Chains A and B, each alone.
Chain A
Amino acid sequence: MIVFDQVQKSYQVGGRAIPALHPTDMTVETGEVFGIVGHSGAGKSTLVRLINLLEPPTGGRILIDDEDITGYNPAQLRAFRRKVGMIFQHFNLLSSKTVADNIAFPMKLAGIYSKTEIRERIEELLARVSLTDHANKYPSQLSGGQKQRVGIARALACRPTILLCDEATSALDPQTTQSVLKLLADINRELGLTIVLITHEMDVVRRVCDRVAVMDAGRVVEMGPVSDVFLHPQHPTTRDFVFESESIDHQELQEDLQKANGRILRLTFKGESTYQPLLGSVARKSGVDFSILSGRIDHIKDTPYGQLTLSLVGGDLNVAMQEFEAADVHVEVLR
């Protein structure tokens, strides 16, 4: 478990303290995938680097499994860092070492593994990230996705309990992003590893995260389970991110709504109700006519969800509302 207790960070620039992270409380549970989303400069990079003290905090306490790591001496800190893997946007592999040597590097630095142990572990990790045939290649001979797989294998080498991902998919194309995210999800499930990942893409959060924190200007402005934050965003920044990820142009949507007649509702389905043929039966029972203004069906991690914006005309609106609520659908009246 990672606990932030009033953790803050500021940089001294020309004698003035510029805050990068305002005092923040946050808890990441063991074994969950925790997303931190924000625009560049929002402080998410700083936040993730506080967890392994690549950036020392200027105030507050950071507890990892109930131990305050901010008081560690250099030797304790180095031992602690071996238990925290990290992967990066630009992979940061050593260009002078082969794939196998890159993966072996953290184990050699630790100095507690025998040659046989290292060799066996490399085999095992290469198989996990499906790069067995590339052991003796140099990073420059690999594609971006393959490089990130090496990064992941290297981060797992010393069997860490926490994995930090710093924009790990931002330099990859959509297809490669998907396969890397799937790999991260598999690792999380099979090894029970806690994953903290930062990204500027809400889509990444939607696919793999259990909970999410939204950052803006050095503050966490919204935090909660992904389905809550994603389906019912409260803070303007969060809304921007959600709309962005659904490629919804806010202006355009408003214009479309202007043209529609009658009541406008937004229905949010989650889980099994997503697949129920609800609209037809509600229309029959209440006598309302509906037209669909926008809609989408997708998954949040493994949970299906749907969101529909409807305009309703005629019939008995109250009956329709009751029917929706009885079917466990979240209804929002937009107009």
Chain B
Amino acid sequence: MGGHSVELDSKTLWGGKESPFQTSYGKLMMWFFLVSDALSFGGLLVAYGFTRHDVSVSGTESWPIGEETFNSLPFLGHGYPLIYVALMTFILIVSSVTMVLAVEAGHRMDRKGVVKWMIATIIGGFFFLGSQAWEWYHFTHGSEFGKVELSDGSQAIVQGHFGEIEKFTVTKGGTEHKVGEEITDDLMHHFQHAAMNGHLHMHGKVMQIHLEDGSLANVTKKADDHLSLIVKKDANAGNVGKRIEGVEAEKLYYEALTSGVKNRVIYGAKFFGDDQFGLNEYGPQQYAQFFYFITGFHGFHVFSGVMINIIILIGVLRGTYHKRGHYEMVEKTGLYWHFVDLVWVFVFTFFYLV
């Protein structure tokens, strides 16, 4: 900190002794690095803004809304808009606070304090990384309903409570399942796989599923609750944002699901080898790509921040900095850690809120 304020006069300054910024080389270089890193993140977020603005101009496709896309909590399911990401933000803020407390302890040469607060910071970092892993997993797998292409060619996201699938009763045997067998394992996975490949259809009033081994089964499923569709993409811009509810919504949704056509329904956002590679249920293709790239790039920064913090913590424990007479290394890694928090503040606003 510059609280020491040495007067700068031309003699000391141009004599090469006093530095104009009155700070050490290492800290100055850390600041310059952070500026360049901030340009990378700024570039990514501006590119996101460009794409979003570009897509919105035509009005035929709406950009995903944060509170609709991110509304789940672990163990509790859907209906909690933005709570999870708020929790992640809070974790990162708290770990930033513990870091600045470690820096403060360093300024008092309080080694125990530095150790204590750095350990807290590292734990906070791991918590954030774990939360992000869950968030990615959830984003990749998507909701229970997915996004659906309706019979008129428009696309809609689905809200409501998905009625549980109870069992598949095999009516025609395949290589694995025999007639009359009841399947109760991994039903959701099979169901979604069949739905996106067009392997579901209606047989009178009974929904039937073609399983991968060539067998055919009747689907026993509880009724959905409060099912509603929100149109997100339509050639007629006037329909975008329209809500369809009740019986009509149910009819349109299951008509698409059992049409026998591939990719009428899309679940999550697949980013590795899959039939629906590159597609996502939330909105335009670029949306998921930006999500993975920006939060991934940030997550990688958090990961490297945790690693650097661990390395510095080892230095603190070994007494390296105490012998040196100052804890500036803690201050420098602290700058990097705060920067990671700073970036998240912007990602939070522009990806989740606005």
Q: Verify that A and B bind, or say they do not.
A: no
Which B residues fall within an 8 A CB radius of A? Answer: none
